[in-house]
Amino acid sequence: AQKVTQTQTSISVMEKTTVTMDCVYETQDSSYFLFWYKQTASGEIVFLIRQDSYKKENATVGHYSLNFQKPKSSIGLIITATQIEDSAVYFCAIGGNTRKLIFGLGTTLQVQP
């Protein structure tokens, strides 16, 4: 069975700095997909970025990028030049051959002015 673990419950950073959120996963699938989502204070859940397991290059979208370390089963989310509006809960998820996503419990990010 697939599993996702986010060990950081909460992180606080100063605005305009870079933050990394950790995520480790377990899967028996040879091909899989890793995702990061953001849940805002209003409850909205937004898809941010995806990493395909067979791609060696780390995915990047805007000021979000990933640190994919396949041997360590790790997929970190990096946010550069953080802004106040990046304050949210961030979820890591994995999808494989089951048509389902498995989510971690999330990391709360607070960006201080």
Which residues contribute to the site for another protein (CB under 8 A)? 31, 33, 35, 37, 43-47, 50, 91, 95-101, 103-106
Complex with another protein: residue 87 or 90, whichever CB lies closer:
90
Complex with another protein: residue 80 or 95, whichever CB lies closer:
95
CB of 91 to another protein, least distance (A): 7
Pairing of strands 10-14, 107-112: parallel
CB of 17 to another protein, least distance (A): 27
CB of 15 to another protein, least distance (A): 27
Number of C-beta neighbours around residue 64 at 10 A: 17
Q: How far apart are CA 105 and CA 102, in angstroms?
A: 10
Complex with another protein: residue 40 or 112, whichever CB lies closer:
40
Q: How far apart are CA 97 and CA 92, in angstroms?
A: 17
Complex with another protein: residue 14 or 47, whichever CB lies closer:
47
The encoded tokens of residue 30 equal 């040879």
CB of 16 to another protein, least distance (A): 28
CA distances (Å), origin 87, targets 32, 33, 72, 112: 28, 25, 28, 9
